Amino acid sequence: EDKVVQSPLSLVVHEGDTVTLNCSYEVTNFRSLLWYKQEKKAPTFLFMLTSSGIEKKSGRLSSILDKKELSSILNITATQTGDSAIYLCAEAASGTYKYIFGTGTRLKVLA
Amino acid sequence: DTGVSQDPRHKITKRGQNVTFRCDPISEHNRLYWYRQTLGQGPEFLTYFQNEAQLEKSRLLSDRFSAERPKGSFSTLEIQRTEQGDSAMYLCASSGNEAFFGQGTRLTVV
């Protein structure tokens, strides 16, 4: 069964800090990896990484896929209190469109 | 329609009752997913459809759960004879390439 593991489980930083969140996956035939931000309600989409798109950036957020290490990182620079949320990673194997999620990293940014 | 819509947003039901949730996906998306999320956990896959065909269903899904997408547009998720362990957030998502989630239906079984 495919598996996604995220670390750390939780993280507390101060505004302005840079954070790196980790996601590792075990999948027979990798197709894509997605990152989501979840505040109080539903997850909101951040990035999708594939073999043809291993690095994405949007503002202060960026993500890189390492297919050799079967992992991905999500970087957030100059953190703000509004970045406080749970960050979820999900992967899908080739041949299916089912996404398997990790348990998430809970990030708290202090003013 | 700019997003995935779920109804109701909250549902409180007595143990043993049946409940049905509805999901309206983003109109151009042909894949639709149902997930369940409990506190401190990531979304757990339940099932997904491509158009009207239910292509995959979690082995964890008991026979009390059934989902339909009759015309390849909206979908319903029914839980029969609800149990307290069914209390969770039920999330629907739809996708073209990326999957986008609705706001969820929070079910409380008392």
pLDDT tens digits, A55-98: 999 999 999 999 888 999 999 999 999 999 999 999 988 778 88
To test the contact with chain B by mutation, choose from A44, A45, A97, A101 the residue with the greatest count of B C-beta atoms within 10 A, namely A97
The pLDDT value recorded for residue B103 is 95
Q: How many A-B residue pairs are in contact by the CB < 8 A criterion?
A: 52
Distance CA A81, CA B3 (A): 26
Cβ-in-10-Å burial (0-12, 13-18, 19+) of B63 comes to exposed
Q: Please write the tens of the pLDDT for every residue from B43-88.
A: 999 999 999 999 999 987 889 999 999 888 999 999 999 999 999 9
Residue A6 pLDDT > 80: yes
- Assess A49–B contact: CB distance below 8 Å, yes or no: no
Contacts of B88 in chain A (CB under 8 A): none
What's the pLDDT tens digit per position in B26-39? 998 999 999 999 99
What letters, b where the CB count within 10 A reaches 16 and e where it falls short, cover A13-42? beeeeebebebbbebeebebbbbbbbeeeb
pLDDT over 90 (residue B98): no
Hey, are the CB atoms on B41 and A103 less than 8 Å from each other?
yes
Report angle CA A92, B22, B87 to the nearest 5 degrees: 75
Q: What pLDDT shows up at residue A95? A: 79
Residue B98 has its nearest CB partner, among A42, A45, A96, at A45
**Please, what sign has the CA dihedral across residues A89, A91, A97, A100?**
negative
| Rounded average pLDDT over B6-31 | 96
Per-residue pLDDT at A84: 98
Average pLDDT, chain A: 93
What is the predicted pLDDT for the residue at A71? 93
Question: How far off is chain B from A71, nearest CA to CA, in Å?
Answer: 18
Q: Does A100 touch chain B (CB under 8 A)?
A: yes
